[in-house]
Amino acid sequence: MATPAAAWRRAHLIMGGLTLLGFAITGFHMLWTLPGLFEEGGNPVRFLYRANHLYLLFAGLLNLALGSYLELCEEGWRRRLQVFGSGCLLIAPLVLFPAFFIDPPRLSPKRPTTEAAIFLVFIGTLCQLPGRASRPGSPQA
């Protein structure tokens, strides 16, 4: 039976791989179905699509990295925080995919779906930090 840490690592690796696949698919989507984005005058929408496209890459790579290195703390608040952060990082790509299609066409600086996903990545990453400081041999702040 897999340890809890191994299960979380596997979930992150799977989500990271799927997110990178989605990154490639959204790239082809931009190239094939949105050719007008690359014409003169389409810069604002193109930049919004590209930003969301890169957020997918960012979330996928972050999940792969966490899947490669995650070590859970002993039971306690640090472990619960790590698990909560891992959950946030696993959910973020699921929010980023719809954000890719929903937010850019609006041409608005308010992009609530994208902002929610980036907030999940931010919180999820910060929640991993206390777990790192609790391990023997870790640099203490």
- pLDDT tens-digit map of 95-119: 999 999 998 888 888 899 999 999 9
Taking 90 as the threshold, does the pLDDT of residue 75 lie above it? no
pLDDT tens across 15-69, in order?
999 999 999 999 998 888 877 666 666 677 888 889 999 999 999 999 999 999 9
More confident residue, 135 or 17: 17
Residue with tokens 């790192």: 132
CB-CB neighbours of 140 under 10 Å: 5
Instruction: Give the per-residue pLDDT at 141.
Output: 42
Q: Per-residue pLDDT for 135 more than 70? A: no
Q: Is 135 helix (H, G, I), strand (E, B) or coil?
A: coil
Of 1, 22, 7, nearest in space to 86 by CA: 7
Confirm if 54 and 104 have CB atoms less than 8 A apart: no
Tokens of 32: 């094939």
d(CA 64, CA 13) in angstroms, rounded, equals 5
Domain map of the chain by residue range?
A: 4-132
- pLDDT band for position 140 (50/70/90)? very low
CA 48 – CA 114 distance, rounded (Å): 10
Of the candidates 47, 45, 46, 59, the one whose C-alpha atom is nearest the C-alpha of residue 96 is 59
Residue 36, both tokens: 């007008």
Question: Given the structure tokens 């969301």, which residue do they identify?
Answer: 52
Higher pLDDT, 136 or 116: 116
pLDDT of 136: 57
Between 43 and 10, the higher pLDDT residue: 10
Q: Using CA atoms, how far apart are residues 6 and 11, in angstroms rounded to an integer?
A: 9
Cβ–Cβ < 8 Å for 100, 37: no
Residue 46 confidence (pLDDT): 81
**Is the per-residue pLDDT at 86 higher than 50?**
yes
Its pTM stands at 0.86
